[in-house]
Amino acid sequence: MKVLGIDEAGRGPVIGPLIIAGVMINEGDEKKLDGVKDAKDSKLLPHKKRIELDKKIRMNSEYKIIIIEPQEIDDALNSDSLNLNWLEAVKQAEIINELKPDKVIIDCPSPNIKKYTEYLKKLIFNKKIQILCDHKADVNYPVCSAASIIAKVVREQEVDKLKAKYGDTGPGYSSNPITQEFVKQNWEKYPEIFRHTWVTYLNHKNMKDQKKLGDY
């Protein structure tokens, strides 16, 4: 039985893409991901260790990575039919439909697991695939831990590319002081790298709009 784990990285940042990764192995082959199952929460791993595990995962599994740029995230949030959860489900379905697992385990982004699972099922071609959506699946299932690690490594690579091109963005999270300063100085200069639907970005835009109104 082929088991696919799916997880994401970069859901919350105001800068840069959201990464969704799927990792598929044969059931019982978790030993090939040795070190991943012991890692548990990939957020707590040093990035150097994640890079080591990323190489091992790619050598011992089938995998697929989807990079969702800020514009696509904004389009989803501004649409009548999508939100961030449903956008993730659409991308997860792409991975499932391409890799064709027998079973898929997903770290569920929605608090409503039942509703999310039902939505996802409608997007999957093979209705016989077993679907397990769970909270903290990245901690409880090695194949999801592996997907989490790959996603985080790719997200870091994408952020490094942005830093090389635009300057020090910080990690892209609104709570980070470096990111806060970068947004303040560059929100209008480099609109393509920001998520325009995020409050952090909107605050600067709204302040400028208010100043314009004050000129009248």
Please indicate whether the domains covering 2-164 and 166-214 agree at the CATH topology level. no
Q: What are the extents of the domains in the chain?
A: 2-164, 166-214
CA-based radius of gyration for the chain: 19
> Looking at the predicted structure, is the pLDDT value of residue 144 above 60?
yes
**C-alpha to C-alpha distance for 157 and 27, rounded to whole angstroms:** 30
> Looking at the predicted structure, is the pLDDT value of residue 38 above 60?
no
- For residue 41, the 8-state DSSP code is -
Specify the pTM: 0.92
> Looking at the predicted structure, is the pLDDT value of residue 160 above 60?
yes
Q: What is the pLDDT of residues 165-183, one digit of tens each?
A: 999 999 999 999 999 999 9
**CATH numeric code, 2-164:** 3.30.420.10
Biggest distance spanned by C-alpha atoms of the chain: 69
CATH class of 166-214: mainly alpha
Q: What is the pLDDT of residues 82-113, one digit of tens each?
A: 999 999 999 999 999 999 999 999 999 999 99
Both tokens of 116, joined, read 């999310």
Closest CA to 138 of 116, 106, 160: 106
Outline where DSSP puts E strands in the chain.
2-9, 18-26, 62-68, 103-107, 130-134
Average model confidence (pLDDT) for the chain?
Answer: 92
Q: So what's the pLDDT on residue 42? A: 62
